[in-house]
Amino acid sequence: MRNNTLRLLITLLLVLTPHLLFSQEKKNTSYKLLNDISYYEAAKITDDYQKERCVLDIYYPANIEDFATVVWFHGGGIKMGEKFVPKLLMEQGFAVVAVNYRLYPKVKKPVYLEDAAAAVAWTIKNIGKYDGDSLKVFVSGHSAGGYLTSMVGLDKSFLAEFGVDADILAGLIPFSGHTITHFTVREEMGIPGEQAIVDEYAPLYHAKKDTPPILLITGDRELELLGRYEETAYFYRMMKVNGNESTELIELQGFDHGTMVNPACFLLIEFVEKYSK
C-alpha cells in the first residue's frame, strides 16, 4: 500500500468519525423533498425542452434554520444524465439542490452554462423561503457537473446575468471536472478531444486571486480519465501563482473517475461544515 493511500485512509477515517458519532443527532432532523421546481421564470421559458429540463429538486432539513445548501450538478459529459441527490449527502444537516440542465446536441454552448448559473442564482434567491441561509450556498458536482461548478463560480459573467455576484458563494467543490475546455465544447468547435484548449470556456482561463474557497478533488492520477489529475493540478498551481490562498487539491489514491465520488462526498461534508460556521 502506498504511503499516499495510507494517508488517504487515515484522512477519511478522521472525516467520517465525527459523522458516525453525531449521526443520530442528524437523523433526528426531519427532511423534505420537493421535485421538479422550475428555476426559470415562466416568461423566460421559450420551448418544451427548456420547460422539461430546467428543473431542480430540493432536499432540505425541515425543522432547523439557517442551514447550508449544496447545489449538485450531475455528470454525463453534458450529453446525458439526470438530477439526483447523492445518498451520502442525505441527512447531513444541510440541503441539497439537485439540478437538471439542457444537454448537447439539443443545445450548444453556453446554454448549459447559463442553465447552471440560473439554478445557482435561483437557489441563492429562494433558499431563504425554506429557512436556509443564502450566504451558505455551495456548488458541487461530478465530472461534467464539476466543470459546470467551476465555470459558474469562476466566470462571474454567468451569475451576473441573473443579478448575483459569484463571490457570494460559500464554496466550490468540483469532483473530477475539466479545468481545460470541456471535451464537449471542443467537439462543438470541431476540435479533437486529444487537443488541449484553454479558452474562455476553461476554468483554467479564469484562474485568479480572489474566489470563494475551492476544494478540487480527483481520483488517482493512474486510474482517472487520462490527464484529469494533471490538468487539475495545473489549475491548482496557477491559482497559487495568482496569489489564491483558498484553493485546495486532493487526489484520492486508489479510486478511479467513477469510484472517487463516495469518498469525495465525505470530504465535501467536512468542507461544508468548515465554511458554513
pLDDT at 13: 59
pLDDT at 226: 93
Q: Is the pLDDT of residue 22 over 60?
A: no
10 Å Cβ neighbour count for 11? 16
Please name the residue ranges forming H helices in 127-244: 144-154, 156-160, 183-188, 228-241
DSSP bridge partners of 216: 249
171/104 Cα distance (integer angstroms): 27
What's the whole-number mean pLDDT along residues 20-31? 65
- CA-wise closest residue to 148 among 182, 188, 122, 194: 182
Q: Is the pLDDT of residue 125 over 60?
A: yes
Q: Please identify, in words, the CATH class of the domain defined by 31-275.
A: alpha beta
pLDDT at 277: 85
Q: With bands split at pLDDT 50, 70 and 90, how would you rate the model's confidence at 6?
A: low
Q: With bands split at pLDDT 50, 70 and 90, how would you rate the model's confidence at 222?
A: very high
Phi, psi of 195 (to 5 degrees): -95, 115
In terms of DSSP bridges, do strands 247-252 and 67-73 run parallel, antiparallel, or are they unpaired? unpaired
114/189 Cα distance (integer angstroms): 18
Crossing angle (nearest 10°) for helices 111-126 and 144-154: 70
Cell 431563504 maps to which residue?
Answer: 128
- For the stretch 176-187, pLDDT in tens is 999 999 999 999
Residue 179, SS3 per DSSP: coil
CA triple 210-154-260, angle to 5 deg: 110
CA triple 193-177-240, angle to 5 deg: 110
How much is the mean pLDDT over the chain?
Answer: 93
Q: Which sequence spans correspond to the domains of the chain?
A: 31-275
Q: With bands split at pLDDT 50, 70 and 90, how would you rate the model's confidence at 28?
A: confident
61/34 Cα distance (integer angstroms): 12
pLDDT at 232: 98
Listed in order, strand segments (DSSP E) in the chain are: 31-38, 55-61, 67-73, 95-99, 132-142, 171-175, 214-219, 247-252
pLDDT at 109: 98
* Close Cβ partners of 206 (under 8 Å, ≥ 6 residues apart): 151, 154, 155
Q: Assess whether the previous peptide bond of 61 is cis (omega < 30° from 0).
A: no
Read off the amino acid at residue 65.
Answer: E
Cell matching residue 168: 457570494
pLDDT at 2: 45
Q: What is the percentage of the chain residues whose pLDDT exceeds 90?
A: 88
Flag whether the pTM goes above 0.85: yes
pLDDT at 26: 66
Q: With bands split at pLDDT 50, 70 and 90, how would you rate the model's confidence at 15?
A: low
- For the stretch 64-93, pLDDT in tens is 999 999 999 999 999 999 999 999 999 999
Q: Is the pLDDT of residue 268 over 90?
A: yes
